[in-house]
Structures are given as C-alpha cells and as structure tokens.
Amino acid sequence: MEKITVLIADDHKLIRETWTFILNSDPRFSVVAQCSNGEEAILLAQKLRPKIAMLDINMAPINGMEATEQIRKFSPTTKIIGVSMHSQPAYVKKLLKLGAMGYVTKNSPQQEMFDAIVAVSEGKRYICAEVKTILSEQIFEEESSGANTLSARELDVIKYIKQGLSSKEISAELSISLKTVEVHRHNILKKLNLKNSAALVNYINSSGLVI
C-alpha cells in the first residue's frame, strides 16, 4: 500500500519531532519533511508535493492561514489540515474557506490525528471532536458571546482593522459596501463587549486571536 506522505509545520521543535516519530511509527504514513514556519512550509510543499500538510495556524511571520492559501496555489494536490491550540469554530470556518480540508486541536488524541490524515487523504473533510462539541453547544444555546461567535467575514474585517485600514479601505479590500463594513464593526464590538477599535486591537494582541 502506498504511504500517505506528510509535511509537518509547527514552530515548536518538540511537537514536530514527536509527531514525526508517531506518524513514522505507523506503516500508513511517511513524514517527508518538517519545518518551523509558514514560509518554509510553502517552499517544501511546492518542492515535495506531499499528500498532507499539517500546519500550525499560529506560526510567525507567515501563519497557517496564510500558508494554506499559498500551498493551495502552488501545490493544489496537497491537502491541508490545520492544527491549533484554539478550538473556536471561527478559526475552523475561515481555514476551510481558504481551502483546508481538516482541523484538529492540540488537545486531540493520537488516534484522532490518524483519523484526520486518513479521511483528508481520501478527500473527506475532518473536524475534531472538541470543535464539534463546541459547535453543538452553540446550536443549542439561545445566546452566546465572545470570540467563539465571530463569523469568518468578521475575522476578515478584524484583520484589516488591526492593520489600521479605514472602513472605506476595508470595503474596497473585501468588495463589500461601506455600510456592510460598519455593520460588521458594530457586531464585532458588541460580540466582544468592546467600546471601540482601539480596544479591539488591544484585545487581539492580548488574546492571541489569529487572523
């Protein structure tokens, strides 16, 4: 049986080496490369064309979100699984929108990582149990608040607010109306219980929100 080739990108060496050891110990998988940042991941994916790229979404300077876009462009046959300590559904929705096929958190057990790789290699989407639980809870909650409720579009708006863009500039970047941007800004502040954009930027920096 042909092995599933895997590229691992994570900024923690111990995690990379541990995952490499675990996956290479299973006859179904072969880790063909590992790296510490998104830029290296893009280059390695383009060169090696692995079946699976496991990307930590919190890497710097190029995070897993940005790397996903580039890998999908330069190595379209490589299927991407996002890995993070974050379990907010908004991250999952945005990553899948960018072309990823799977998402597991760093709380996920070993078997779940195996299941994710196999499922994604077969062209199926895979979301870990931790995130599925949160999604289920949100469905049955009448009211919810905080980062878990941010939509993928609201994360896009936050990204440009952090960069210092005006509402008019954001509207041009996202090809939406100025009024729609203002509605998104209002909803973001309401969901996060913040008073203004300056407070939002402080929240992003202190909470580790990836955008």
Q: Name the fold adopted by 4-137.
A: Rossmann fold (3.40.50)
Q: pLDDT category, 179, cuts 50, 70, 90?
A: very high
pLDDT at 132: 82
18-32, 132-146, 173-187: range with lowest mean pLDDT:
132-146
Q: How far apart are CA 55 and CA 73, in angstroms?
A: 15
0.85 surpassed by pTM: no
What pLDDT sits at residue 134?
76
CA distances (Å), origin 38, targets 7, 26, 58: 11, 26, 9
Q: Please provide the average confidence, as pLDDT, over all residues in the chain.
A: 88
Strand order in the sheet with 102-105: 29-35, 4-9, 52-56, 79-84, 102-105, 126-127
Span 40-63, average pLDDT: 93
CATH 1.10.10.10 assigned to 147-207: yes
Residue ranges of domains in the chain: 4-137, 147-207
4-137 against 147-207: fold identical: no
**What confidence score (pLDDT) does residue 146 get?**
67
Are 96 and 125 within 8 A, CB to CB?
Answer: yes
Q: What is the pLDDT of residue 175?
A: 93
pLDDT exceeds cutoff 70 at 92? yes
Helix crossing, 197-207 with 152-162: angle to 10°?
100
